Chains A and B, each alone.
Chain A
Amino acid sequence: MIPAIAVIFAVIIFPWVFTVWMSLNDWRIGMSSEFIGLGNFQMLATNNRFLSTIPRTLYFTFLSVLLPVVLGVFAAEVFHQKFPLRGLLRGIYIAPMMATPVAIALVFTMMFHPQIGVLNYLLSLVGIPKQLWVYSADTVIPTLAFVEVWQWTPLVMLIVLGGLASLPTEPYESAVIDGASQWDMFRYITFPLILPFLMIAVILRTIDALKSFDIIYVISQGGPGTASETINLYLYLQAFSFFQIGHASAVVIVFFVLILALAMILLVARERLRWNR
Protein backbone atom coordinates (compact mmCIF):
# COMPACT_ATOMS: atom_id res chain seq x y z
CA MET A 1 0.00 0.00 0.00
CA ILE A 2 2.81 2.41 0.88
CA PRO A 3 4.57 2.03 -2.49
CA ALA A 4 1.22 2.44 -4.24
CA ILE A 5 0.64 5.72 -2.47
CA ALA A 6 4.20 6.83 -3.23
CA VAL A 7 3.69 6.05 -6.91
CA ILE A 8 0.40 7.91 -7.09
CA PHE A 9 1.97 10.82 -5.26
CA ALA A 10 4.96 10.92 -7.61
CA VAL A 11 3.06 10.72 -10.87
CA ILE A 12 -0.10 12.65 -10.06
CA ILE A 13 0.16 14.92 -7.05
CA PHE A 14 3.72 16.16 -7.38
CA PRO A 15 3.42 17.29 -11.00
CA TRP A 16 0.33 19.26 -10.09
CA VAL A 17 1.91 21.01 -7.12
CA PHE A 18 4.93 21.81 -9.27
CA THR A 19 2.78 23.15 -12.10
CA VAL A 20 0.72 25.37 -9.82
CA TRP A 21 3.89 26.81 -8.30
CA MET A 22 5.47 27.39 -11.69
CA SER A 23 2.37 29.13 -12.98
CA LEU A 24 2.91 31.83 -10.36
CA ASN A 25 6.44 32.47 -11.58
CA ASP A 26 7.92 34.06 -14.63
CA TRP A 27 10.48 31.52 -15.69
CA ARG A 28 12.10 30.97 -19.02
CA ILE A 29 14.65 28.20 -19.36
CA GLY A 30 18.06 29.79 -19.30
CA MET A 31 16.98 32.68 -17.09
CA SER A 32 16.32 33.16 -13.41
CA SER A 33 12.75 32.71 -12.24
CA GLU A 34 10.80 35.48 -10.62
CA PHE A 35 7.60 35.30 -8.56
CA ILE A 36 4.83 37.25 -10.27
CA GLY A 37 1.66 35.93 -8.66
CA LEU A 38 -1.16 35.85 -11.16
CA GLY A 39 0.80 37.71 -13.83
CA ASN A 40 0.85 34.76 -16.19
CA PHE A 41 -2.92 34.47 -16.00
CA GLN A 42 -3.41 38.16 -16.65
CA MET A 43 -1.20 37.83 -19.68
CA LEU A 44 -3.23 34.90 -20.96
CA ALA A 45 -6.47 36.79 -20.53
CA THR A 46 -5.27 39.49 -22.89
CA ASN A 47 -3.23 37.33 -25.25
CA ASN A 48 -5.11 37.13 -28.54
CA ARG A 49 -3.09 34.25 -29.80
CA PHE A 50 -3.96 32.16 -26.79
CA LEU A 51 -7.61 33.26 -26.78
CA SER A 52 -7.98 32.29 -30.43
CA THR A 53 -6.88 28.73 -29.62
CA ILE A 54 -9.99 28.14 -27.48
CA PRO A 55 -12.72 28.32 -30.16
CA ARG A 56 -10.40 26.43 -32.51
CA THR A 57 -9.98 23.63 -29.99
CA LEU A 58 -13.73 23.50 -29.42
CA TYR A 59 -14.40 23.34 -33.16
CA PHE A 60 -11.93 20.49 -33.58
CA THR A 61 -13.42 18.71 -30.56
CA PHE A 62 -16.98 19.14 -31.79
CA LEU A 63 -16.13 17.48 -35.11
CA SER A 64 -14.07 14.79 -33.41
CA VAL A 65 -16.94 13.86 -31.09
CA LEU A 66 -20.01 14.22 -33.28
CA LEU A 67 -18.78 12.27 -36.30
CA PRO A 68 -17.43 9.25 -34.37
CA VAL A 69 -20.71 9.04 -32.46
CA VAL A 70 -22.81 8.96 -35.64
CA LEU A 71 -20.47 6.63 -37.52
CA GLY A 72 -19.78 4.52 -34.43
CA VAL A 73 -23.48 3.76 -33.90
CA PHE A 74 -23.79 2.72 -37.54
CA ALA A 75 -20.69 0.50 -37.31
CA ALA A 76 -21.93 -1.05 -34.07
CA GLU A 77 -25.26 -1.92 -35.72
CA VAL A 78 -23.28 -3.58 -38.53
CA PHE A 79 -21.04 -5.58 -36.22
CA HIS A 80 -24.04 -6.55 -34.13
CA GLN A 81 -25.19 -8.69 -37.08
CA LYS A 82 -23.73 -12.08 -37.85
CA PHE A 83 -21.65 -12.56 -40.99
CA PRO A 84 -18.65 -14.64 -42.06
CA LEU A 85 -15.20 -13.46 -40.83
CA ARG A 86 -16.89 -11.13 -38.37
CA GLY A 87 -14.19 -11.53 -35.71
CA LEU A 88 -11.30 -10.78 -38.05
CA LEU A 89 -13.04 -7.81 -39.66
CA ARG A 90 -13.95 -6.45 -36.25
CA GLY A 91 -10.30 -6.77 -35.25
CA ILE A 92 -9.24 -4.85 -38.34
CA TYR A 93 -11.91 -2.26 -37.71
CA ILE A 94 -10.68 -1.49 -34.19
CA ALA A 95 -7.02 -1.55 -35.27
CA PRO A 96 -6.87 2.24 -35.89
CA MET A 97 -7.55 3.06 -32.24
CA MET A 98 -4.74 0.74 -31.23
CA ALA A 99 -2.27 1.95 -33.85
CA THR A 100 0.57 4.24 -32.80
CA PRO A 101 -0.65 7.81 -33.43
CA VAL A 102 2.76 9.08 -34.51
CA ALA A 103 3.05 6.34 -37.11
CA ILE A 104 -0.47 6.92 -38.38
CA ALA A 105 0.06 10.66 -38.55
CA LEU A 106 3.17 10.19 -40.69
CA VAL A 107 1.27 8.01 -43.15
CA PHE A 108 -1.59 10.51 -43.35
CA THR A 109 0.93 13.28 -43.92
CA MET A 110 2.04 11.45 -47.04
CA MET A 111 -1.55 10.82 -48.09
CA PHE A 112 -2.37 14.52 -47.85
CA HIS A 113 0.64 15.54 -49.91
CA PRO A 114 -0.44 18.40 -52.20
CA GLN A 115 1.24 17.18 -55.40
CA ILE A 116 1.41 13.42 -55.12
CA GLY A 117 -0.87 12.46 -52.27
CA VAL A 118 -2.95 9.37 -52.86
CA LEU A 119 -6.12 10.95 -51.46
CA ASN A 120 -6.26 13.61 -54.16
CA TYR A 121 -5.78 10.86 -56.71
CA LEU A 122 -8.69 8.86 -55.29
CA LEU A 123 -10.84 11.99 -55.39
CA SER A 124 -9.83 12.63 -58.99
CA LEU A 125 -11.13 9.16 -59.89
CA VAL A 126 -14.61 10.26 -58.89
CA GLY A 127 -14.20 13.69 -60.47
CA ILE A 128 -13.56 15.77 -57.34
CA PRO A 129 -10.88 18.46 -57.81
CA LYS A 130 -7.63 18.39 -55.81
CA GLN A 131 -8.06 19.39 -52.19
CA LEU A 132 -5.48 21.27 -50.14
CA TRP A 133 -6.22 19.26 -46.99
CA VAL A 134 -3.84 20.48 -44.28
CA TYR A 135 -2.23 23.05 -46.57
CA SER A 136 -5.05 25.53 -46.30
CA ALA A 137 -6.27 27.42 -43.26
CA ASP A 138 -9.89 26.72 -44.20
CA THR A 139 -9.66 22.95 -44.41
CA VAL A 140 -6.93 22.07 -41.93
CA ILE A 141 -9.15 21.57 -38.86
CA PRO A 142 -11.74 19.38 -40.61
CA THR A 143 -8.88 17.40 -42.16
CA LEU A 144 -7.19 16.79 -38.82
CA ALA A 145 -10.57 15.93 -37.33
CA PHE A 146 -10.96 13.43 -40.17
CA VAL A 147 -7.79 11.65 -39.00
CA GLU A 148 -9.03 11.78 -35.42
CA VAL A 149 -12.37 10.34 -36.54
CA TRP A 150 -10.64 7.60 -38.49
CA GLN A 151 -8.69 6.71 -35.39
CA TRP A 152 -11.32 6.93 -32.69
CA THR A 153 -14.65 5.91 -34.19
CA PRO A 154 -13.82 2.28 -33.26
CA LEU A 155 -13.84 3.21 -29.57
CA VAL A 156 -17.38 4.56 -29.85
CA MET A 157 -18.30 1.45 -31.81
CA LEU A 158 -17.00 -0.81 -29.06
CA ILE A 159 -18.86 1.00 -26.33
CA VAL A 160 -22.11 0.99 -28.29
CA LEU A 161 -21.60 -2.66 -29.22
CA GLY A 162 -21.39 -3.44 -25.52
CA GLY A 163 -24.65 -1.55 -25.12
CA LEU A 164 -26.35 -3.44 -27.94
CA ALA A 165 -25.25 -6.76 -26.46
CA SER A 166 -27.00 -5.95 -23.20
CA LEU A 167 -30.32 -5.01 -24.78
CA PRO A 168 -33.40 -7.02 -23.92
CA THR A 169 -35.04 -8.84 -26.87
CA GLU A 170 -38.72 -8.54 -25.86
CA PRO A 171 -39.38 -5.02 -27.14
CA TYR A 172 -38.08 -6.02 -30.56
CA GLU A 173 -40.21 -9.13 -30.72
CA SER A 174 -43.35 -7.17 -29.96
CA ALA A 175 -42.30 -4.45 -32.39
CA VAL A 176 -41.93 -7.00 -35.18
CA ILE A 177 -45.43 -8.27 -34.44
CA ASP A 178 -46.70 -4.67 -34.63
CA GLY A 179 -45.06 -4.41 -38.06
CA ALA A 180 -42.58 -1.67 -37.11
CA SER A 181 -39.88 -0.78 -39.65
CA GLN A 182 -36.16 -1.15 -38.94
CA TRP A 183 -35.81 2.60 -38.59
CA ASP A 184 -38.70 2.84 -36.18
CA MET A 185 -37.19 0.10 -34.08
CA PHE A 186 -33.88 1.94 -33.95
CA ARG A 187 -35.51 5.26 -33.15
CA TYR A 188 -37.95 4.18 -30.48
CA ILE A 189 -36.25 1.19 -28.92
CA THR A 190 -32.52 0.95 -29.61
CA PHE A 191 -31.54 4.60 -29.41
CA PRO A 192 -33.11 5.37 -26.02
CA LEU A 193 -31.62 2.20 -24.59
CA ILE A 194 -28.08 2.85 -25.82
CA LEU A 195 -28.17 6.55 -25.00
CA PRO A 196 -26.37 6.08 -21.65
CA PHE A 197 -23.59 4.22 -23.47
CA LEU A 198 -23.41 7.00 -26.01
CA MET A 199 -23.05 9.52 -23.21
CA ILE A 200 -20.04 7.62 -21.87
CA ALA A 201 -18.58 7.60 -25.37
CA VAL A 202 -19.21 11.33 -25.72
CA ILE A 203 -17.53 12.11 -22.40
CA LEU A 204 -14.48 10.00 -23.18
CA ARG A 205 -14.18 11.35 -26.70
CA THR A 206 -14.58 14.95 -25.57
CA ILE A 207 -11.81 14.67 -23.01
CA ASP A 208 -9.47 12.98 -25.47
CA ALA A 209 -10.25 15.18 -28.46
CA LEU A 210 -9.58 18.29 -26.38
CA LYS A 211 -6.20 16.82 -25.48
CA SER A 212 -5.39 15.55 -28.98
CA PHE A 213 -1.74 16.24 -29.66
CA ASP A 214 0.30 13.69 -31.56
CA ILE A 215 -1.72 13.87 -34.76
CA ILE A 216 -1.79 17.66 -34.98
CA TYR A 217 1.85 18.00 -33.97
CA VAL A 218 3.08 15.58 -36.60
CA ILE A 219 0.79 16.52 -39.48
CA SER A 220 0.45 20.30 -39.37
CA GLN A 221 2.49 21.58 -36.39
CA GLY A 222 -0.39 23.95 -35.74
CA GLY A 223 -0.14 25.51 -39.21
CA PRO A 224 -0.70 26.93 -41.74
CA GLY A 225 -0.02 30.04 -39.70
CA THR A 226 -1.93 29.32 -36.51
CA ALA A 227 -4.93 27.75 -38.26
CA SER A 228 -4.66 24.47 -36.37
CA GLU A 229 -3.01 25.73 -33.19
CA THR A 230 -5.16 24.14 -30.51
CA ILE A 231 -4.64 24.82 -26.81
CA ASN A 232 -2.43 21.78 -26.51
CA LEU A 233 -0.27 22.88 -29.45
CA TYR A 234 0.04 26.36 -27.96
CA LEU A 235 1.05 24.77 -24.67
CA TYR A 236 3.71 22.71 -26.42
CA LEU A 237 5.02 25.77 -28.21
CA GLN A 238 5.34 27.74 -24.99
CA ALA A 239 6.91 24.89 -23.04
CA PHE A 240 9.17 23.20 -25.55
CA SER A 241 9.87 25.73 -28.28
CA PHE A 242 10.00 28.95 -26.28
CA PHE A 243 10.79 27.32 -22.93
CA GLN A 244 8.46 29.71 -21.13
CA ILE A 245 7.72 27.31 -18.31
CA GLY A 246 5.78 29.76 -16.14
CA HIS A 247 3.54 30.83 -18.98
CA ALA A 248 3.03 27.23 -20.09
CA SER A 249 2.09 26.14 -16.57
CA ALA A 250 -0.60 28.80 -16.49
CA VAL A 251 -1.89 27.44 -19.80
CA VAL A 252 -2.03 23.96 -18.27
CA ILE A 253 -4.23 25.20 -15.45
CA VAL A 254 -6.62 27.11 -17.71
CA PHE A 255 -6.74 24.16 -20.08
CA PHE A 256 -7.45 21.78 -17.22
CA VAL A 257 -10.30 23.91 -15.93
CA LEU A 258 -11.80 23.97 -19.41
CA ILE A 259 -11.65 20.19 -19.80
CA LEU A 260 -13.03 19.73 -16.29
CA ALA A 261 -15.90 22.12 -16.99
CA LEU A 262 -16.87 20.32 -20.18
CA ALA A 263 -16.58 16.91 -18.54
CA MET A 264 -18.76 18.12 -15.63
CA ILE A 265 -21.45 19.45 -17.97
CA LEU A 266 -21.53 16.11 -19.73
CA LEU A 267 -21.59 14.16 -16.47
CA VAL A 268 -24.51 16.24 -15.22
CA ALA A 269 -26.30 15.63 -18.50
CA ARG A 270 -25.69 11.91 -18.07
CA GLU A 271 -27.18 11.94 -14.56
CA ARG A 272 -30.22 13.80 -15.88
CA LEU A 273 -30.70 11.08 -18.48
CA ARG A 274 -30.57 8.47 -15.77
CA TRP A 275 -33.30 10.20 -13.79
CA ASN A 276 -35.50 10.59 -16.81
CA ARG A 277 -35.37 6.95 -17.67
Chain B
Amino acid sequence: MESVAQVSQFDLNYRLKKLLGRIGLFFAVFVVVSPAIFVFLWMLSLSLKNEIDNIAYPPVFIPSPPTFDNYFKIFRESNYVLYAYNSVIVSGAATLIALVVGVPAGYGIAKGKAQGLGMLIMIARITPGLSYLIPLFTLFRFLGISGSLLAVTISHLVLTIPMVVWVMISFFEDMHPELEEAALTDGCNVWQAFYRVAMPIARPGIAVAAILAFIQSWNNFLFGVVLAGRETRTLPIAVFNAMTFEQLSWGPVAAAALVVTLPSLLLTIFVQRDIVTGLAAGGVKG
Protein backbone atom coordinates (compact mmCIF):
# COMPACT_ATOMS: atom_id res chain seq x y z
CA MET B 1 0.00 0.00 0.00
CA GLU B 2 2.71 2.40 0.93
CA SER B 3 4.28 2.01 -2.46
CA VAL B 4 1.08 3.35 -3.98
CA ALA B 5 1.26 6.37 -1.74
CA GLN B 6 4.82 6.96 -2.78
CA VAL B 7 3.88 6.76 -6.38
CA SER B 8 1.06 9.25 -6.01
CA GLN B 9 3.35 11.55 -4.04
CA PHE B 10 5.90 11.38 -6.82
CA ASP B 11 3.13 11.88 -9.34
CA LEU B 12 1.93 15.00 -7.55
CA ASN B 13 5.42 16.47 -7.45
CA TYR B 14 5.91 15.71 -11.08
CA ARG B 15 2.60 17.30 -11.99
CA LEU B 16 3.28 20.38 -9.92
CA LYS B 17 6.63 20.78 -11.58
CA LYS B 18 5.05 20.37 -14.95
CA LEU B 19 2.36 22.89 -14.11
CA LEU B 20 4.92 25.43 -12.93
CA GLY B 21 6.86 24.82 -16.11
CA ARG B 22 3.74 25.46 -18.16
CA ILE B 23 2.98 28.68 -16.27
CA GLY B 24 6.54 29.82 -16.75
CA LEU B 25 6.33 29.02 -20.43
CA PHE B 26 3.06 30.92 -20.88
CA PHE B 27 4.54 33.88 -19.07
CA ALA B 28 7.61 33.74 -21.31
CA VAL B 29 5.41 33.58 -24.41
CA PHE B 30 3.46 36.58 -23.17
CA VAL B 31 6.64 38.58 -22.55
CA VAL B 32 8.07 37.69 -25.93
CA VAL B 33 4.98 38.46 -27.99
CA SER B 34 3.56 41.46 -26.14
CA PRO B 35 5.78 44.21 -27.62
CA ALA B 36 4.72 43.29 -31.14
CA ILE B 37 1.06 42.96 -30.17
CA PHE B 38 1.10 46.23 -28.26
CA VAL B 39 2.50 48.31 -31.11
CA PHE B 40 0.08 46.91 -33.68
CA LEU B 41 -2.90 47.30 -31.36
CA TRP B 42 -1.88 50.87 -30.58
CA MET B 43 -1.65 51.56 -34.29
CA LEU B 44 -5.15 50.17 -34.72
CA SER B 45 -6.42 52.16 -31.75
CA LEU B 46 -4.99 55.43 -33.11
CA SER B 47 -6.55 54.82 -36.48
CA LEU B 48 -10.02 54.22 -35.01
CA LYS B 49 -10.17 57.25 -32.68
CA ASN B 50 -11.01 60.85 -33.34
CA GLU B 51 -8.27 63.42 -32.96
CA ILE B 52 -9.33 64.69 -29.54
CA ASP B 53 -8.99 61.18 -28.10
CA ASN B 54 -5.70 60.70 -29.88
CA ILE B 55 -4.14 63.71 -28.16
CA ALA B 56 -5.72 62.99 -24.77
CA TYR B 57 -3.49 62.40 -21.79
CA PRO B 58 -3.73 59.92 -20.13
CA PRO B 59 -4.13 58.16 -23.46
CA VAL B 60 -7.44 56.65 -24.50
CA PHE B 61 -6.82 52.99 -25.31
CA ILE B 62 -10.22 51.74 -26.42
CA PRO B 63 -11.89 53.80 -29.16
CA SER B 64 -15.41 54.57 -28.01
CA PRO B 65 -17.19 54.57 -30.28
CA PRO B 66 -14.73 53.46 -32.95
CA THR B 67 -14.83 55.72 -35.99
CA PHE B 68 -13.76 54.90 -39.52
CA ASP B 69 -13.47 58.58 -40.45
CA ASN B 70 -9.69 58.41 -40.66
CA TYR B 71 -9.92 55.64 -43.24
CA PHE B 72 -12.57 57.49 -45.25
CA LYS B 73 -10.41 60.60 -45.14
CA ILE B 74 -7.27 58.98 -46.50
CA PHE B 75 -9.11 57.04 -49.18
CA ARG B 76 -10.89 60.21 -50.22
CA GLU B 77 -7.74 62.27 -50.38
CA SER B 78 -5.36 59.79 -51.85
CA ASN B 79 -5.58 57.27 -54.61
CA TYR B 80 -4.82 54.20 -52.51
CA VAL B 81 -6.33 51.78 -54.96
CA LEU B 82 -3.92 52.91 -57.64
CA TYR B 83 -0.97 52.85 -55.22
CA ALA B 84 -1.90 49.35 -54.05
CA TYR B 85 -2.11 48.21 -57.67
CA ASN B 86 1.33 49.70 -58.34
CA SER B 87 2.73 48.01 -55.25
CA VAL B 88 1.41 44.62 -56.33
CA ILE B 89 2.74 44.99 -59.85
CA VAL B 90 6.16 46.29 -58.81
CA SER B 91 6.74 43.84 -55.95
CA GLY B 92 5.32 40.93 -57.96
CA ALA B 93 7.42 41.63 -61.04
CA ALA B 94 10.56 42.40 -59.05
CA THR B 95 10.15 39.12 -57.19
CA LEU B 96 9.52 37.06 -60.33
CA ILE B 97 12.48 38.50 -62.19
CA ALA B 98 14.63 37.98 -59.12
CA LEU B 99 13.62 34.32 -58.98
CA VAL B 100 14.35 33.78 -62.66
CA VAL B 101 17.76 35.39 -62.33
CA GLY B 102 18.54 34.55 -58.72
CA VAL B 103 17.74 30.87 -58.35
CA PRO B 104 20.12 29.68 -61.08
CA ALA B 105 22.67 32.26 -59.92
CA GLY B 106 22.40 30.94 -56.39
CA TYR B 107 22.91 27.42 -57.69
CA GLY B 108 25.90 28.39 -59.77
CA ILE B 109 27.52 30.20 -56.86
CA ALA B 110 26.80 27.35 -54.44
CA LYS B 111 28.37 24.84 -56.81
CA GLY B 112 31.46 27.00 -57.22
CA LYS B 113 30.68 27.81 -60.85
CA ALA B 114 30.25 31.56 -60.57
CA GLN B 115 32.56 33.11 -58.03
CA GLY B 116 32.59 36.50 -59.74
CA LEU B 117 28.82 36.62 -59.60
CA GLY B 118 28.92 35.70 -55.94
CA MET B 119 31.16 38.66 -55.27
CA LEU B 120 28.82 40.96 -57.17
CA ILE B 121 25.79 39.80 -55.22
CA MET B 122 27.71 40.22 -52.00
CA ILE B 123 28.59 43.77 -53.03
CA ALA B 124 24.98 44.53 -53.90
CA ARG B 125 23.87 43.10 -50.57
CA ILE B 126 26.05 45.47 -48.57
CA THR B 127 25.82 48.64 -50.64
CA PRO B 128 23.62 51.27 -48.97
CA GLY B 129 20.41 51.59 -50.94
CA LEU B 130 20.67 55.35 -51.10
CA SER B 131 23.68 55.20 -53.36
CA TYR B 132 21.70 53.60 -56.19
CA LEU B 133 19.28 56.43 -56.54
CA ILE B 134 21.14 58.99 -58.59
CA PRO B 135 22.86 56.55 -60.96
CA LEU B 136 19.59 54.72 -61.59
CA PHE B 137 17.72 57.98 -62.10
CA THR B 138 20.32 58.98 -64.69
CA LEU B 139 20.12 55.60 -66.38
CA PHE B 140 16.32 55.67 -66.63
CA ARG B 141 16.47 59.18 -68.05
CA PHE B 142 18.88 57.93 -70.67
CA LEU B 143 16.64 54.97 -71.51
CA GLY B 144 13.59 57.23 -71.56
CA ILE B 145 11.66 55.21 -69.00
CA SER B 146 11.89 57.48 -65.99
CA GLY B 147 8.85 57.54 -63.77
CA SER B 148 7.41 54.38 -65.31
CA LEU B 149 6.45 51.24 -63.43
CA LEU B 150 9.22 49.48 -65.33
CA ALA B 151 11.78 51.87 -63.87
CA VAL B 152 10.48 51.41 -60.33
CA THR B 153 10.49 47.63 -60.82
CA ILE B 154 14.08 47.61 -62.07
CA SER B 155 15.16 49.67 -59.08
CA HIS B 156 13.55 47.13 -56.75
CA LEU B 157 15.68 44.39 -58.30
CA VAL B 158 18.52 45.92 -56.31
CA LEU B 159 16.71 44.58 -53.25
CA THR B 160 15.14 41.38 -54.49
CA ILE B 161 17.96 39.74 -56.46
CA PRO B 162 20.50 39.73 -53.59
CA MET B 163 17.77 38.50 -51.26
CA VAL B 164 16.86 35.55 -53.47
CA VAL B 165 20.47 34.63 -54.21
CA TRP B 166 21.36 34.90 -50.52
CA VAL B 167 18.64 32.47 -49.45
CA MET B 168 19.19 30.08 -52.36
CA ILE B 169 22.95 29.75 -51.89
CA SER B 170 22.58 28.24 -48.45
CA PHE B 171 19.85 25.96 -49.72
CA PHE B 172 21.88 24.54 -52.54
CA GLU B 173 25.01 24.31 -50.41
CA ASP B 174 23.03 22.23 -47.99
CA MET B 175 21.80 19.75 -50.58
CA HIS B 176 23.22 16.30 -50.70
CA PRO B 177 25.60 16.21 -53.64
CA GLU B 178 24.93 12.48 -54.21
CA LEU B 179 21.64 13.31 -55.92
CA GLU B 180 23.16 15.50 -58.54
CA GLU B 181 26.12 13.22 -58.96
CA ALA B 182 23.65 10.50 -59.78
CA ALA B 183 22.03 12.78 -62.34
CA LEU B 184 25.39 13.72 -63.79
CA THR B 185 26.45 10.11 -64.19
CA ASP B 186 23.15 9.54 -65.99
CA GLY B 187 24.47 11.89 -68.62
CA CYS B 188 22.84 15.18 -67.66
CA ASN B 189 24.94 18.31 -67.84
CA VAL B 190 25.17 20.66 -64.86
CA TRP B 191 22.13 22.75 -65.81
CA GLN B 192 19.97 19.72 -66.53
CA ALA B 193 20.90 18.39 -63.12
CA PHE B 194 19.85 21.73 -61.72
CA TYR B 195 16.43 21.74 -63.37
CA ARG B 196 15.57 18.10 -62.82
CA VAL B 197 17.08 17.42 -59.44
CA ALA B 198 18.03 20.53 -57.50
CA MET B 199 15.04 22.74 -58.30
CA PRO B 200 12.31 20.38 -57.08
CA ILE B 201 14.15 19.72 -53.83
CA ALA B 202 14.75 23.41 -53.27
CA ARG B 203 11.08 24.29 -53.66
CA PRO B 204 10.58 25.28 -49.98
CA GLY B 205 13.65 27.46 -50.23
CA ILE B 206 12.33 29.14 -53.35
CA ALA B 207 9.07 29.84 -51.53
CA VAL B 208 10.91 31.47 -48.65
CA ALA B 209 13.11 33.48 -50.98
CA ALA B 210 10.06 34.68 -52.90
CA ILE B 211 8.19 35.69 -49.74
CA LEU B 212 11.13 37.56 -48.26
CA ALA B 213 11.95 39.29 -51.53
CA PHE B 214 8.33 40.30 -52.07
CA ILE B 215 7.97 41.77 -48.61
CA GLN B 216 11.25 43.62 -48.89
CA SER B 217 10.17 45.19 -52.12
CA TRP B 218 6.72 45.96 -50.75
CA ASN B 219 8.18 47.85 -47.81
CA ASN B 220 10.69 49.90 -49.74
CA PHE B 221 10.13 53.59 -49.37
CA LEU B 222 13.26 55.30 -50.55
CA PHE B 223 13.42 54.37 -54.22
CA GLY B 224 9.91 55.41 -55.08
CA VAL B 225 10.34 58.89 -53.65
CA VAL B 226 12.71 59.94 -56.40
CA LEU B 227 12.11 57.39 -59.12
CA ALA B 228 8.33 57.05 -59.21
CA GLY B 229 5.97 59.45 -60.92
CA ARG B 230 2.53 60.61 -59.89
CA GLU B 231 0.83 57.57 -61.37
CA THR B 232 3.46 55.02 -60.41
CA ARG B 233 3.90 55.54 -56.69
CA THR B 234 3.83 52.63 -54.34
CA LEU B 235 2.04 52.49 -51.01
CA PRO B 236 4.81 53.40 -48.54
CA ILE B 237 5.17 56.80 -50.18
CA ALA B 238 1.46 57.38 -49.82
CA VAL B 239 1.82 57.20 -46.04
CA PHE B 240 3.76 60.41 -46.14
CA ASN B 241 0.96 62.10 -47.97
CA ALA B 242 -1.30 61.54 -44.99
CA MET B 243 0.72 64.27 -43.30
CA THR B 244 0.03 67.83 -44.22
CA PHE B 245 2.24 70.72 -43.34
CA GLU B 246 -0.13 72.77 -41.23
CA GLN B 247 -1.54 70.00 -39.18
CA LEU B 248 -0.28 66.77 -37.77
CA SER B 249 -3.23 64.45 -37.47
CA TRP B 250 -2.38 61.16 -35.89
CA GLY B 251 -5.55 59.34 -36.83
CA PRO B 252 -5.12 59.52 -40.61
CA VAL B 253 -1.39 58.84 -40.37
CA ALA B 254 -2.01 55.72 -38.28
CA ALA B 255 -4.77 54.62 -40.66
CA ALA B 256 -2.49 55.08 -43.66
CA ALA B 257 0.34 53.27 -41.91
CA LEU B 258 -1.93 50.35 -41.15
CA VAL B 259 -3.33 50.17 -44.68
CA VAL B 260 0.19 50.09 -46.09
CA THR B 261 1.59 47.47 -43.79
CA LEU B 262 -1.48 45.26 -43.47
CA PRO B 263 -0.79 43.14 -46.58
CA SER B 264 2.71 42.24 -45.40
CA LEU B 265 1.41 41.48 -41.91
CA LEU B 266 -1.38 39.21 -43.14
CA LEU B 267 0.97 37.49 -45.56
CA THR B 268 3.40 36.89 -42.72
CA ILE B 269 0.81 35.37 -40.41
CA PHE B 270 -0.50 33.11 -43.18
CA VAL B 271 2.83 31.85 -44.37
CA GLN B 272 4.81 31.92 -41.13
CA ARG B 273 4.91 28.13 -41.15
CA ASP B 274 6.57 28.10 -44.58
CA ILE B 275 9.05 30.71 -43.51
CA VAL B 276 9.97 28.79 -40.39
CA THR B 277 10.21 25.36 -42.04
CA GLY B 278 11.93 26.85 -45.08
CA LEU B 279 14.59 28.47 -42.97
CA ALA B 280 14.85 25.44 -40.74
CA ALA B 281 15.28 23.20 -43.78
CA GLY B 282 18.53 24.96 -44.49
CA GLY B 283 17.52 28.45 -45.50
CA VAL B 284 20.27 29.93 -43.45
CA LYS B 285 23.13 27.71 -42.51
CA GLY B 286 26.06 28.20 -40.25
Give bound CA distance, A213 to B239, whole Å: 17
Expressed in whole angstroms, the minimum distance between the Cβ of A268 and any Cβ of chain B is: 14
Is A103 located at the chain interface by the 8 A CB criterion? yes
Q: Is the CB of B32 within 8 A of A197?
A: no
B140 nearest in chain A by CB position: A10
Q: Report which residue of B42, B59, B239 has the largest number of chain A beta carbons within 10 angstroms of its beta carbon.
A: B59
B110 on interface, CB distance cutoff 8 Å? no
**Total chain B interface residues with beta-carbon distance under 8 A:** 83
Report, as a range, how many residues of chain A touch the other chain.
35 or more
Q: Is B29 an interface residue (CB 8 A)?
A: yes
B32, B42, B56: which has the most chain A beta carbons within 10 Å?
Answer: B32
Residues of A within 8 A of B184 (CB): none
CA distance in complex: A12, B122 (Å)? 11
List the one stretch of A36-44, A83-91, A172-180 in contact with chain B: A83-91
**Chain B stretch 228-250: residues in CB contact (< 8 A) with chain A:** 235-236, 239-240, 250
In the complex, what distance in Å separates the CA atom of A94 from the CA atom of B266? 11
Q: Is B128 touching A95 in the complex (CB atoms < 8 A)?
A: no
Across the interface, A93 reaches (CB within 8 A) one of B36, B57, B155, namely: B36
Q: Is the CB of B128 within 8 A of A197?
A: no
Determine if A110 and B136 form an interchain contact, defined as CB atoms under 8 angstroms apart.
no
Whether, in the assembled complex, B158 has its beta carbon less than 8 Å from a beta carbon of chain A, the answer is: yes
1/0 contact string of A172-207 vs chain B (CB within 8 Å): 000000000000000000000011111110000001
Within residues 117 to 139 of chain B, which ones have a CB less than 8 A from any CB in chain A?
117, 120, 123-136, 138-139
* A-binding segment of B4-12, B69-77, B254-262: B254-262
Query: How far is the CB of B19 from the nearest CB of chain A, in Å?
Result: 13
Report A112-136 residues with CB < 8 Å from chain B CB.
115-116, 118, 121
Contact B257 A106 (CB under 8 A): yes
Q: Does B219 contact A (CB under 8 A)?
A: yes
Bound together, the chains give a CA A78 to CA B24 distance in angstroms of 10
